[in-house]
Amino acid sequence: MHWSSVADFLAMGGYGLYVWGSFAVTAAVMAWEVLALGQRRRRAITQVRNWRLLSEDAR
């Protein structure tokens, strides 16, 4: 373990803003992509169901 305290860890030797700014934004955009992927799948499944309903109506 390199750090002596949590405050020390968060300060990142004075570079806290830059280090945490990098890690936080990376985590945020990845989390956003994962959520968007789930949403796209649910929407695709709805499209498949709607197609079926439409083709059943046409019959």
Partner 1 sequence: MSSSAIAPKTDSANRVHWFRYAAPQQFYPLAGKMLPWLWATAIVLTLAGLWVGLVVAPTDFQQGDSYRIIYIHVPAAWMSMLIYVAMAFWAGLGLVLNTRLSSMMATALAPTGALMTFIALWTGALWGKPTWGTWWVWDARLTSELLLLFLYLGFMALQAAADDPRRADRAGAIVALVGVVNVPIIYFSVKWWNTLHQGSTINPTRAPSMASIMLTGMLLMVFAFWAYCIAAALQRVRAIILEREKDADWVQQLKETQ
Residue 50 and residue 53: Cα distance in Å, rounded? 5
* Site map 5..44 versus partner 1, x via CB under 8 A: ----x--xxxx--xx-xxx-xx--xx--xx--x--xx-xx
Least Å distance, CB 47 to partner 1, is 5
* Residues 47, 53 contacting (CB under 8 angstroms): no
Termini Cα distance of the chain: 69
Interacting residue ranges for partner 1, rule: CB under 8 A: 1-3, 9, 12-15, 18-19, 21-23, 25-26, 29-30, 33-34, 37, 40-41, 43-45, 47-49, 51-52, 55
